């Protein structure tokens, strides 16, 4: 199961996924899609951790991934609960409609 | 409290407190009783203690009573201590005794005024402050009294506050004396810095070791203290407030602006004589200020219409004599003249007040006249006061004190023929304007109807004061006749003896000259105003003399001068700075902050996208910087 | 093995692009699922089989189910799709995409220009991970546990439909008031 892919390539892949996630968060107006994009970003960072961990042969990368996983689970559950409430109150998921600040 | 000394200031204070807090509930009789009674009791106690001090006093000739410690901080210790020695006894006596008479007079004079209790409250507070001033054993407590009398002076000049001009006069007096007071405060700081104490007795004891003769520091201190005295005593160049201070009721002018407060400067210099003796420069400045003021004020008095303004300028002039005496080193003569002057000037003011009151508040002497027969009591008492002011030889007390000053102006250590000549000219002018005032007011034909005659409460103080104006001079007679030196013997316990330059035997000539000057002045006044009034008209036709008269009438243009060099530039600056230039800086900071806040608050749009964009741009910038490095 | 990595990487990128561009939320979810599974594959290839398993079980399993539930609850269907189509205009996405592209370009430069090291992925088995997790990272695990606990409570609280809640004193007052009215 040995791979000779250079670490740069893995890191680039992680960076690319992260950039895609960010683009998703900014582009979409629907909160659900924004939440999905945030998941993509979390995964990208997880990938970077795992790649680094396997590069050094240390378990720390995977430990960090597990923490990210736990955090993602918490974030998604809270986020979705909020989305439910927001939809319940505003009948919309448009992030631009929800802003109430005058700026 | 074996000694009732503390009662002297405490009684007027109690009177003030009663009237200030309960005055509105008391009847006029009660108010008069509280206001005048407290001062009368003070006067009685003063006489009692004074007799005891003189007959069976302690060795040092000083009663001292510490009531409590006022301030005790890091080596600086100010106690509320009252000290009664010969010098303060004279002042306390004058303040309480004349004060009591004036309070009795006021009870009649202010009868119709709606602010009866306020008047007596302020008067009592004044008497209290003045007593603190003269009884204080340290300069800090003295300064407390000093500021207290300034405050009362302000309150009483502006007593009839409904007229804005009176308020203006009060503010003017307060502001101008404040200049002197500030200088005096700095002087006190310097005294404390140099000597480490403000207790007068300690300073007196330490001064000769602490400072060399004519050292710069001591000159500066003396000049600063002098500035305080000049402000309070309305001497050049801070004299312009006194004529305007006549806006107050006549008893106020009599008590504060003639008899007591304005002589605080004399007291201060006499009290700190040790410091002044150490500086020849400061002493000469005192003498020159005194001489200049007596001359300028005398000429101004010659031209005034308003009887109270004539008296105000004559007060300035007479205090000028006292300063002259202090300046030449004739300490005793100055204090003697202070006492005599307090009697006859209070008398003149009270009598003038009675005349003004009777003539429906007519101040202009040219509209008076013919009062000789209609108001005999006022006439005779006024005549005695005027004789004293003009220093009519032998019979008036003013002669003895003024003659002494004239003699010392030539003969004392700091004297000079020039100072003597000025003082002699001043005596001539004094006699002239006094005669003018007498003739215009009492002789000639009656021009204004007399409303009502002054009651007993007003005439009795006049008679008492007239009596003292006649006899006060006899406690100190010149060397060549009588050589009766009760007053100077008393004073020499506190003040140094006057050192003479020349032989005593030549004093006759000076007395003769002084008498001649007086009679000359009286003759001039009589000649121009009594006998040949048309000559005055002729003189007025003369262009140059009319200009000179206008110049004198305006008080030698000091008001205009200060207006041009101080008030106008200040008003000009304020006008430029109407929009507050300095404040622009701060409003600028505020508006910049506000603009930045608007900018930042714009970013707080609530739009998540903008926030994320911001974060991304931040990440880009940080990574970009990393790439650059 | 390189070829497997590149294929998986390509699948991940394509699936991710599709996630962020789909109009229908369910479609997007499906692509996200593909992306997550390919992530798991990548982890496996990088010698982290335990992480790969967790990715599948928790992400592709549990979290996806949550999303689906929410989409079902909100009843997002055709209308949402139409709306999304309207929202996703060229001018809307071109700017942000550019920003993301710049960010990626910077990653690229930084990664490629930095010193290269030989990459020999070593398999890290679950035992080592577990030992590390419950050894040095014990405090982290405890914190994560608290976080999850808070998330559970928070989600339960936020997700509840609010009724009028009154303080007991106010409630009593209200009742008294009502009694008084009766």
Contacts of C76 in chain A (CB under 8 A): 32, 93
Cα–Cα distance between C122 and B378 in angstroms, integer? Answer: 126
Domain, as residue range, for B595: 580-628
Cα–Cα distance between B153 and B165 in angstroms, integer? Answer: 16
Residue A43's pLDDT is 93
| Residue of chain C whose Cα is closest to the Cα of B614 | C99
pLDDT band at C121 (very low <50, low <70, confident <90, very high): low
Both C113 and C180 in one domain: the answer is no
In chain B, what percentage of residues exceed pLDDT 70? Answer: 96
DSSP state of B76: E
Both C92 and C162 in one domain: the answer is no
Does C59 map to a domain? Answer: yes
Record the tokens describing residue B167, joined without a space: 């308020």
Contact between chains at B627 and C102 (C-beta distance less than 8 A): no
Both B497 and B379 in one domain: the answer is yes
Residues 6 or more apart whose CB falls under 8 angstroms from that of A20 comprise A37, A40, A44, C13, C16, C17, C20, C100
- Mean pLDDT (chain C) is 81
Return the H-helix or E-strand segment holding B103: helix B86-109
* Domain final position from B496, B516, B531: B531
Most C CBs within 10 Å: which of A5, A13, A71, as the mutation test of the C interface?
Answer: A5
Quick one: average pLDDT of C79-101?
A: 75
* Domain final position from B504, B531, B558: B531
Q: The CATH number of the domain where C94 resides is what? A: 1.20.120.1200
Residue B559's pLDDT is 78
- B446 has a pLDDT exceeding 50: yes
Residue B100 near residue B30 (C-beta atoms within 8 A): no
- C61 has a pLDDT exceeding 60: yes
Cα–Cα distance between B204 and B275 in angstroms, integer? Answer: 8
Residue C142's pLDDT is 93
Both C66 and C112 in one domain: the answer is yes
Both C12 and C52 in one domain: the answer is yes
- Number of Cβ atoms within 10 Å of the Cβ of B465: 31
Q: Is C5 on the interface with A (CB under 8 A)?
A: yes
Quick one: average pLDDT of C105-128?
A: 72
Contact between chains at A61 and C80 (C-beta distance less than 8 A): no
Both C108 and C175 in one domain: the answer is no
Contact between chains at C103 and B613 (C-beta distance less than 8 A): no
Q: φ, ψ for residue A99 (rounded to 5)?
A: -70, 135
- Number of Cβ atoms within 10 Å of the Cβ of C161: 7
Residue A1's pLDDT is 43
Asked if residue B237 has a cis previous peptide bond (ω within 30° of 0), the answer is: yes
Report pLDDT digits (tens) over B178-237: 888 999 999 988 888 888 888 888 888 887 887 777 788 888 888 888 888 888 888 888
Contact between chains at A43 and C59 (C-beta distance less than 8 A): yes
Give the least confident one: A60-64, B28-32, C87-91.
C87-91
Picking from B99, B129, B121, B117, the residue whose alpha carbon sits closest to that of residue B10 is B129
* Domain final position from C74, C89, C121: C121
Does C128 map to a domain? Answer: no
Please tell me which of the candidates B607, B612, B613 has its beta carbon nearest to residue A99. Answer: B607
Both B293 and B402 in one domain: the answer is yes
Report pLDDT digits (tens) over B226-249: 888 888 888 888 888 888 888 888
pLDDT band at B346 (very low <50, low <70, confident <90, very high): confident
Residues 6 or more apart whose CB falls under 8 angstroms from that of C175 comprise none
pLDDT band at B1 (very low <50, low <70, confident <90, very high): very low
Contact between chains at C28 and A33 (C-beta distance less than 8 A): yes
Contact between chains at B609 and A100 (C-beta distance less than 8 A): no
Q: Is C104 on the interface with B (CB under 8 A)?
A: no
Does C126 map to a domain? Answer: no
Cα–Cα distance between C2 and C7 in angstroms, integer? Answer: 9
Residue A4's pLDDT is 63
Record the tokens describing residue B209, joined without a space: 């070791």
Contacts of B624 in chain C (CB under 8 A): 106
The domain total for chain B is 2
Contact between chains at A95 and B613 (C-beta distance less than 8 A): no
- Number of Cβ atoms within 10 Å of the Cβ of B585: 10
DSSP string of A16-69, one letter each residue: HHHHHHHHHHHH--BHHHHHHHHHHHHHHHHHHHHHHHHHHT-THHHHHHHHHH
Residue B411 near residue B452 (C-beta atoms within 8 A): no
Cα–Cα distance between C73 and B484 in angstroms, integer? Answer: 123
Return the H-helix or E-strand segment holding C171: helix C168-181
Contacts of C109 in chain B (CB under 8 A): 627
The domain total for chain C is 2
| Residue of chain B whose Cα is closest to the Cα of A97 | B607
Does C129 map to a domain? Answer: no
- Mean pLDDT (chain B) is 82
Distance from CA of C113 to the nearest CA of B (A): 9
Distance from CA of B602 to the nearest CA of A (A): 4
Does B418 map to a domain? Answer: yes
Does C11 map to a domain? Answer: yes
Please tell me which of the candidates C16, C28, C148 has its beta carbon nearest to residue A74. Answer: C148
DSSP state of B262: G
List C residues 95-134 in contact with A (Cβ-Cβ < 8 A): 96-97, 99-101, 103-104, 107-108, 111-112, 116-117, 119-124, 128-129, 131-133
Cα–Cα distance between B286 and B226 in angstroms, integer? Answer: 7
Both C24 and C89 in one domain: the answer is yes
Contacts of A47 in chain C (CB under 8 A): 39, 42-43
Picking from B161, B123, B94, B145, the residue whose alpha carbon sits closest to that of residue B31 is B123
In chain B, what percentage of residues exceed pLDDT 90? Answer: 2
Q: Is C103 on the interface with B (CB under 8 A)?
A: yes
| Residues in chain B whose Cβ is within 8 Å of chain A | 601-609, 612-613, 616
Contact between chains at B605 and A103 (C-beta distance less than 8 A): yes
**CATH number for domain A7-91, candidates 3.40.228.10, 1.10.287.3510, 3.10.20.590, 3.40.50.2300:** 1.10.287.3510
List C residues 129-148 in contact with A (Cβ-Cβ < 8 A): 129, 131-133, 137, 140, 144, 147-148
Does C127 map to a domain? Answer: no
Both B498 and B593 in one domain: the answer is no
pLDDT band at B370 (very low <50, low <70, confident <90, very high): confident
Both B420 and B503 in one domain: the answer is yes
Does B59 map to a domain? Answer: no
- B305 has a pLDDT exceeding 90: no
Both B342 and B427 in one domain: the answer is yes
Contact between chains at A39 and C59 (C-beta distance less than 8 A): yes
Cα–Cα distance between A26 and B609 in angstroms, integer? Answer: 5
* Complex-level ipTM: 0.88
Most B CBs within 10 Å: which of C88, C91, C95, C102, as the mutation test of the B interface?
Answer: C102
Of B454 and C52, the one with more pLDDT: C52
Domain boundaries, chain A: 7-91
- Three-state secondary-structure class, residue B345: helix
Does B286 map to a domain? Answer: yes
Does B607 map to a domain? Answer: yes
Picking from C46, B184, C117, B347, the residue whose alpha carbon sits closest to that of residue A58 is C46
Q: Is B613 on the interface with C (CB under 8 A)?
A: yes
Does B501 map to a domain? Answer: yes
Domain, as residue range, for C26: 2-121
- A3 has a pLDDT exceeding 60: no
Residues 6 or more apart whose CB falls under 8 angstroms from that of B168 comprise B244
Q: Is C41 on the interface with A (CB under 8 A)?
A: no
* Domain final position from C121, C153, C172: C121
Both C29 and C56 in one domain: the answer is yes
Q: What is the largest CA-CA distance in chain A?
A: 57
Cα–Cα distance between C89 and C98 in angstroms, integer? Answer: 15
Residue B322 near residue B336 (C-beta atoms within 8 A): no
Residue C76 near residue A32 (C-beta atoms within 8 A): yes
Report pLDDT digits (tens) over B43-54: 888 888 888 887
Contact between chains at A66 and C54 (C-beta distance less than 8 A): yes
Residue B314 near residue B389 (C-beta atoms within 8 A): yes
Report pLDDT digits (tens) over B235-290: 888 888 888 888 888 888 888 877 788 888 888 888 888 888 888 888 888 888 88
Record the tokens describing residue C20, joined without a space: 């962020």
Of B204 and A65, the one with more pLDDT: A65
Residue B67 near residue B82 (C-beta atoms within 8 A): yes
Record the tokens describing residue A71, joined without a space: 């955090």
Does C97 map to a domain? Answer: yes
Picking from B98, B110, B103, the residue whose alpha carbon sits closest to that of residue B464 is B98
């Amino acid at each position: 199961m040995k791979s000779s892919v250079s670490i740069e390539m893995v890191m680039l892949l992680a960076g690319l996924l992260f950039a895609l996630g960010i683009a998703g968060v900014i582009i979409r107006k629907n909160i659900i899609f924004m939440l999905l994009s945030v998941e993509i970003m979390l995964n990208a960072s997880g990938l970077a951790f795992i790649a680094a961990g396997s590069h050094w042969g240390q378990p720390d990368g995977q430990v960090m991934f597990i923490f990210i996983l736990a955090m993602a689970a918490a974030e998604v559950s809270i986020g979705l609960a909020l989305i439910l409430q927001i939809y319940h109150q505003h009948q919309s998921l448009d992030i631009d409609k929800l802003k109430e600040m005058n700026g | 409290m074996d000694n009732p000394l503390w009662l002297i200031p405490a009684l007027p204070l109690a009177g003030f407190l009663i009237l200030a807090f309960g005055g509105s509930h008391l009847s006029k009789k009660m108010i008069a009783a509280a206001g005048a009674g407290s001062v009368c009791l003070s006067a009685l106690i003063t006489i009692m203690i004074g007799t005891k001090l003189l007959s069976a006093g302690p060795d040092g000739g000083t009663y001292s009573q510490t009531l409590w410690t006022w301030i005790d901080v890091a080596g600086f210790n100010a106690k509320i201590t009252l000290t009664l020695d010969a010098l303060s006894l004279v002042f306390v006596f004058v303040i309480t005794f004349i004060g009591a008479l004036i309070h009795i007079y006021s009870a009649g004079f202010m009868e119709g005024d709606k602010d009866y209790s306020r008047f007596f409250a302020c008067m009592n507070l004044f008497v209290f402050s003045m007593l603190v001033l003269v009884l204080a054993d340290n300069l800090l407590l003295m300064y407390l009294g000093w500021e207290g009398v300034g405050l009362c002076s302000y309150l009483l000049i502006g007593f009839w506050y409904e007229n804005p001009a009176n308020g203006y006069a009060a503010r003017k007096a307060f502001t101008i004396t404040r200049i002197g007071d500030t200088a005096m405060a700095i002087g006190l700081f310097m005294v404390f810095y140099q000597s480490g104490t403000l207790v007068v007795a300690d300073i007196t004891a330490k001064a000769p070791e602490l400072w060399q003769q004519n050292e710069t520091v001591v000159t500066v201190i003396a000049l600063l203290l002098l500035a305080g005295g000049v402000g309070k005593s309305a001497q050049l160049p801070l004299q312009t407030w006194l004529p305007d201070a006549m806006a107050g009721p006549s008893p106020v002018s009599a008590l504060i602006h003639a008899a007591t407060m304005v002589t605080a400067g004399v007291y201060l210099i006499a009290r700190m004589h040790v410091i002044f003796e150490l500086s020849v420069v400061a002493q000469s400045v005192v003498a020159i200020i005194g001489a200049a003021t007596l001359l300028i004020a005398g000429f101004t008095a010659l031209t005034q219409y308003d009887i109270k303004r004539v008296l105000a300028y004559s007060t300035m002039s007479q205090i000028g004599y006292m300063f002259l005496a202090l300046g030449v080193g004739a300490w005793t003569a100055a204090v003697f003249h202070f006492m005599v002057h307090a009697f006859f000037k209070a008398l003149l003011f009270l009598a003038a007040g009675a005349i003004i009151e009777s003539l429906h508040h007519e101040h202009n002497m040219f509209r008076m006249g013919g009062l000789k027969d209609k108001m005999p009591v006022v006439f005779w008492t006024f005549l005695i006061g005027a004789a004293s002011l003009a220093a009519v030889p032998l019979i008036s007390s003013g002669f003895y004190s003024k003659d002494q000053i004239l003699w010392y102006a030539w003969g004392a250590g700091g004297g000079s023929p020039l100072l003597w000549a000025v003082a002699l000219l001043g005596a001539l002018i004094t006699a002239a304007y006094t005669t003018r005032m007498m003739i215009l007011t009492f002789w000639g034909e009656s021009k204004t109807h007399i409303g009502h005659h002054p009651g007993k409460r007003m005439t009795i103080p006049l008679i008492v004061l007239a009596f003292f104006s006649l006899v006060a001079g006899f406690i100190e007679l010149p060397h060549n006749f009588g050589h009766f030196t009760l007053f100077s013997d008393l004073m020499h316990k506190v003040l140094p003896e006057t050192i003479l330059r020349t032989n005593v035997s030549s004093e006759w000539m000076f007395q003769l000259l002084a008498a001649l000057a007086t009679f000359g002045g009286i003759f001039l006044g009589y000649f121009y105003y009594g006998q040949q009034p048309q000559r005055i008209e002729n003189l007025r036709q003369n262009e140059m003399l009319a200009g000179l008269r206008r110049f004198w009438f305006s008080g030698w243009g000091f008001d205009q001068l200060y207006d041009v060099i101080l008030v106008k530039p200040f008003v000009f600056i304020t006008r430029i700075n109407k929009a507050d230039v300095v404040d622009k800086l701060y409003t600028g900071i505020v508006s910049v902050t506000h603009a930045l806040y608007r900018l930042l608050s714009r970013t707080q749009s609530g739009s998540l996208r903008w926030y994320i964009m911001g974060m991304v741009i931040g990440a880009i910038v940080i990574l970009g910087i990393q790439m650059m490095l | 093995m390189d070829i497997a990595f590149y294929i998986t990487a390509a699948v991940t990128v394509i699936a991710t692009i599709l996630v962020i561009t789909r109009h229908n939320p369910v479609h997007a979810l499906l692509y996200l699922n593909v992306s997550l599974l390919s992530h798991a594959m990548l982890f496996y290839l990088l010698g982290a089989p335990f992480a790969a398993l967790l990715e599948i079980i928790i992400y592709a399993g549990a979290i996806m189910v949550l999303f689906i539930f929410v989409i079902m609850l909100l009843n997002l269907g055709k209308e949402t799709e139409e709306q999304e189509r309207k929202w996703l205009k060229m001018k809307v996405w071109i700017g942000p995409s550019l920003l993301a592209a710049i960010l990626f370009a910077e990653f690229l430069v930084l990664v490629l220009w930095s010193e290269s090291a030989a990459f020999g992925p070593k398999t890290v088995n679950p035992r080592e991970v577990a030992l590390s997790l419950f050894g040095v990272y014990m405090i982290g695990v405890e914190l994560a546990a608290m976080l999850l606990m808070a998330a559970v409570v928070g989600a339960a609280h936020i997700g509840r439909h609010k009724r009028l809640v009154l303080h007991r004193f106010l409630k009593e007052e209200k009742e008294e008031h009502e009694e008084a009215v009766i």
